[in-house]
Structure 1
Amino acid sequence: MSSTPVRHSRKRGDPGAATVPGHGLTGVPALDGALTVDAADLARVARDFGNQVHRVPRAVLLPGSAADIASIVRYGRERGIPVVPRGEGHSVHGQTQVRDGIVVDMPALSRIRAVGPDRVHADAGARWGAVLDAALRDGTAPPVLPDYLALSVGGTLSVGGIGGASHQYGYQADNVRDLDVVTPRGDLVTCSPHRNGDLFDAVRGSQGRHGIITRATVDLVPARRSARRHLLSYADLRVFLADQCLLAGQGRFNHVTGWARYASGVGWRYVLEAVSFYDPPEEPDPDVLLRGLGHERGAEEIATTGYRDFLLRYTPVEVDSREPDPWQQHAHPRCNVLLPGRYAEALISGVLDDLAPDDLGPGGGVLIYPIPTARLAAPNVPRVRDAVTVVFGVQRAAPSDDHATIERMQRANADLYAAARRIGGVGYSGLTAHHEALYGAHPRFSEIVDRPSNVREYRNEMNC
């Protein structure tokens, strides 16, 4: 039986340096948490939601403090060992994996420190659902939340963080007061607009290139008690986009998103989701809210729920189960791009003309919704040069052993990235040159960056 320890947890102040035999880790610094080489821990962080890339690290850091992360970053820098943070593992291209490096398991730092009337201090590994519940106890909530609240604070701030309220408040990264960041040199630095402002600007939305976020002070706004959700149906993409742009610009609703769905024998249809938050007995007036819109009359779906219930609508209740959800084990070759509003209709129409339900796979979908670009203020978040940014996400899924289908979906995603770039669009939360240099190439990276588009080129302008 091997005598190799699976965890190193020499505490700060203990004498001497530690070695993890058989893993090339010597002189490991003292930690408040632990460095694990347990096979189960290594396997857990060698996958993500995308299930397309699997890289086994040398070790996993379970940090007991932000100082642990700084120590391991310095340790890795001195020895040429890459160090990568991992939140909830919801990336789809292996961005949070690194072969023969060290993965920092950020959920080990998940404390929500204090909630004030207009801000909350949260560790980067805390889930947004936990932040929301902590804030709701004081009658407040973060201004922008992702649809899926089991994502981590540090994870979404590192990519930007888009939600249904972004048309009013921008990215989640636009709604933070200050951050604690471990820089690539291993320094633990507090930054804000007024203190180390260059780092504060650099780290938001840059996917870890300029440091690892370990804590954030997040803005809060007053919460409401009820949510009224309107689902409006459209047959015409142009009318759908025009109404979305109108609502996003006017601020009639607190939450505006939308999607396309395929109806057999009919083709693509469009659903605009518009939600009002309010406190009874006051009621939103549907005649005022829906005035002038071009949706199909009589097909509206209107429902009222609690405020928290609406925000948690896509976050499943976690139950103990011996069998994992098969869909979670699928590959998810997703593609999210941000398009200039003036060209969005033409490009989306061209993509959907060539897209069949089988091209999405089980549980797949298509997201479409606009954000006034002026709301996206953080300097390094993805943005386009247009008054309106249109989020276009093709969410694909395939059984992880269906390699031919996954390959076909990856090629289609590469085409979409290329088409978006050709009209001035950008990728959101996808691969960057930073990932190429640090982690090694994804099988489709060179195509995503360099490949000419096979998507038909459309440049008919539509003003949002």
Structure 2
Amino acid sequence: MNNILSDLRHIIEGEVSNTKEELEAVSHDFGGIIQKQPRIIVRPKNSTDVAKAIKYAAKQGLTISSRAAGHSLSGQSLNQDGILLDMRNLNQIHEFRPDELWFKADAGMTWKQVVDTSIPYGVVPPVLTNNFEVTLGGTLSAGGLGLSSFRYGSQADNCLGLEVVTGTGDIIWCTPEKNSELFNHVLCGYGQFGIITQVQNRLRKYRPFTRSYFLCYDDLDILLNDQSLLTSESRIDGLVSLFSPCLLGASRANENGIRPIIEWFYRMQITLEVDSTNDINEIELLSSLNFYRHIHTEDLTFKKFIQPIAQVPHPVDTANSWIDVLLPGSMAKKYIDIALKHIPSFIDFRTVPVGSFCLLNRNMKMPMFPLPEEDLVIGLGLYPTIPKFQIQHVTEQLNFLTDLGLQMGGKRYMATWADFDLPKWRLQFGDYWPKVNEIKRKYDPQMILNPGFFKYEQVGEKNESHALL
């Protein structure tokens, strides 16, 4: 251990440490389910430090992973017995071109820093998640979804260029035209093929005001039809739906005991971005929808609207076992009905956020972000924060919901909780799975980058595994 520490301190310009307190601080992530502890923490000063650390790890037979905000849910930002790169010191904007609608910044920069810089110029990144404290490199490695993703795709779809350090320690600038293979797989690749050190990203002009309509539904089929109408015809700029259970009593006609009688209600929030709220033809917009009650209208400045409503609390001894299932539009009603009936059997349905969102396949281009084959994709999100003693039981049920979604032609958003074995990875990527393995062997031949999340094919298993696809 002392030799590794000494070696790295001689070759790294940034900080290198291995104190007990610092190692423990990076041994868990936001999910709180997986725990891993590295041997060494490196805080690189630049991409050259990252390259040197990767080359050293390869020479010593050590694994190496990157971390910034640590907002992963399945240990994607953790490392066991290897080198952890803490990327937070790489946090500068290098070029900001609001007239040309792009910027270039370090991967450890937060989206909050980007928004604070861009808003005064009347521009903003096309897609923002509900957490501004996460970093560019982190969300681009995962995908990054927001209220406007049905229009603009994921955050990764709005990336224009990347500086990447591969598993062989090569520093490569890549774009959709130059070194495109690496570009297309590092995005949404969870650090498997290279570590992002710098980002060039798109900006867009925004309008100064927003109006949001909060519409209540008591029929899931009607809700899904209205979501499809609004997103496929680009009538709005933002959409999200939240599901609310109403406990109406209990039934004793159940051989397994008392069963709660639950009626689900659905609140769809649609948002328009405008120069003036007087420009909105409200009658035309709302008359085409089939909600049963218009419950609220909210007018905000764009700057206020995009701000996250609140930080998600993370009480001591709890875990965030969140999942997002991406469903083909034609199967969404069937799947959601089953999921809503199943949820009360394993968690406190009264306190767990459940919601829905829409994506359009035509606007999502990243091969490492698999989607159902249909153009309209309905996302179902389930976001329980649970006591740690419930982890095994709850995650078993979440795995059931995952398996059900995959069987119905769905996919998983891998930024959330996932416990995948090889058969699930094959289902997730389908015919593209052999290509994922090929790219891994090409850019990380020693398999040292961020191990323990993806389960790759071993040499000799190839023919058998392809027969199982």
- The two structures have a TM-score, normalised by structure 1, of 0.83
Residue 209 (structure 2) aligned to one of 226, 246, 252: 226
Contact 1:361 1:398 in 2 (8 A): no
SS in 2 for 1:264: strand
Contact 2:343–2:349 (8 Å) recurs in 1: no
Query: Which residue of the partner structure matches residue 302 of structure 1?
Result: 297
Q: CA deviation at 1:59?
A: 1.2
Distance in 2 (CA, whole Å) between partners of 1:222 and 1:344 is 33
CA 1:363 to 1:225, structure 2 compared with 1: closer, same or farther past 3 Å? farther
**Partner of 2:7 in structure 1?**
27
Q: d(CA) in 2 for partners of 1:342 and 1:281? A: 35
**CA spacing shift, 1:360–1:310, aligned 2, 3 Å:** farther
Name 1:419's counterpart in structure 2. Answer: 404
Contact 1:169 1:375 (8 Å CA) reproduced: yes
Aligned to 2:244: 261
**What is the distance in 2 between the residues matched to 1:148 and 1:411?**
27
Q: Which amino acid aligns with 1:420?
A: G
CA distance in 1, matches of 2:385, 2:324: 14
How many angstroms apart in 1 are the aligned matches of 2:322 and 2:314? 17
**Distance in 2 (alpha carbons) for counterparts of 1:337 and 1:206:** 18
Counterpart Cα distance in 1 of 2:329 and 2:286? 22
State the partner residue of 1:286: 282
- The answer to whether the 8 Å contact 2:209/2:277 transfers is no
**Equivalent in the alignment of 1:6:** none
Residue of structure 2 in register with 1:456 after alignment:
none
Task: Give the Cα separation in 2 of the matches to 1:366 and 1:262.
Answer: 9
Matched length: 411
Q: Distance in 1 between matches of 2:160 and 2:316?
A: 34
Amino acid at match of 2:289: L
User: Of 369, 373, 385, which residue of structure 1 is paired with 2:357?
Assistant: 369
Residues 308, 246 of structure 1: alpha-carbon distance in 2 compared, 3 angstrom cutoff: same
Out of 60, 77, 83, the residue aligned to residue 58 of structure 2 is 77
Cα contact 1:369–1:392 (8 A) shared by 2:
yes
The 3 A distance-change label for structure 1 pair 432 and 182 is farther
Indicate whether 1:217 and 2:205 are aligned.
no
Report the CA distance shift for 1:209/1:89 in structure 2 as closer, same or farther (over 3 A).
Answer: same
CA contact (8 A) 2:212 2:270 kept: yes
Identity %: 27
Alignment of 1:204 with 2:187, yes or no, is yes
Pairing 1:395–2:378 present: no
Q: 1:101 aligns with which of 82, 85, 92?
A: 82
Q: 1:425 is aligned with what amino acid?
A: G
1:367–1:393 contact (8 Å) kept in structure 2: yes
Please give the TM-score of this superposition, normalised by the length of structure 2.
Answer: 0.83
User: What does the per-residue CA deviation read over 1:96-130, in whole Å, with 9 as the maximum and x for residues that have no partner?
Assistant: 11111111112221112222120011211111121
Q: What are the within-5 Å matches in structure 2 for residues 452-463 of structure 1?
A: none
SS at structure 2 position matched to 1:27: helix
3-state SS of 2:127 partner:
coil
1: distance between equivalents of 2:134 and 2:53?
A: 24
- Give the Cα–Cα distance (whole angstroms) in 2 for the partners of residues 141 and 72 of structure 1: 34
Give the SS at the match of 1:154: helix
1:64 aligned residue (45, 65, 68): 45
Q: Per-residue displacement from partner, 1:148-200 (whole Å, max 9, x unpaired)?
A: 22221111111111111111111111111101111111111100012111111
Q: Is the 8 A contact 1:205 1:382 kept in 2?
A: no
Q: Where do residues 1-400 of structure 1 align in structure 2 (5 Å cutoff)?
A: 21=2, 24-25=4-5, 27-28=7-8, 29-116=10-97, 117=99, 118-265=101-248, 267-280=263-276, 282-297=278-293, 299-316=294-311, 327=315, 330-356=318-344, 359-360=347-348, 364-400=352-388
**Counterpart contact for 2:174–2:183, Cα < 8 Å:** yes
Alignment partners' CA distance in 2, 1:194 and 1:303: 42
Bigger drift between 353-362 and 338-347 goes to 353-362
How far apart, CA to CA, are the structure 2 residues paired with 1:362 and 1:290? 30
For structure 1, the 5+ residue unaligned runs are 1-19, 318-324, 443-464
Q: CA RMSD in A?
A: 2.3
Q: AA paired with 2:386?
A: A
Per-residue CA shift, 1:206-241, capped at 9, x if unaligned?
A: 211111111111111112222211111111111111
Letter in 2 for 1:148: N
Distance, in Å, in 2 between the alignment partners of 1:148 and 1:441 is 23
Q: CA 1:214–1:360 in 2, change beyond 3 Å: closer, same or farther?
A: farther
Q: Secondary structure at the match of 2:387?
A: coil
Q: Which has the higher contact order (CA 8 A, sep 6+)?
A: 2
CA offset at residue 378 of structure 1? 1.9
Deviation at 1:335, TM superposition (A): 1.5
Q: Structure 1 residues 269 and 180, CA, compared in 2 at 3 Å: closer, same or farther?
A: same
Question: Cα distance, 1:357 vs. partner?
Answer: 8.9
Question: How much does 1:26 deviate?
Answer: 5.2
Cα distance, 1:315 vs structure 2: 4.6
Cα-to-partner distance string for 1:74-113 (whole Å, 9 max, x where unaligned): 1111111111111211111111111111111122211122
**Corresponding residue SS for 1:274:** strand
Q: Which one-letter code corresponds to 1:90 in the other structure?
A: H
Q: 2:432 corresponds to which residue? A: none
Q: Which residue of 1 aligns with 2:392?
A: 407
Residues 57 and 122 of structure 1, relative CA distance in 2, 3 Å threshold: same
In 2: Cα distance, 1:364 partner to 1:108 partner: 35
The 1-side partners of 2:266 and 2:219 are apart by: 8
User: 2:374 & 2:110 partners in 1: Cα distance?
Assistant: 32
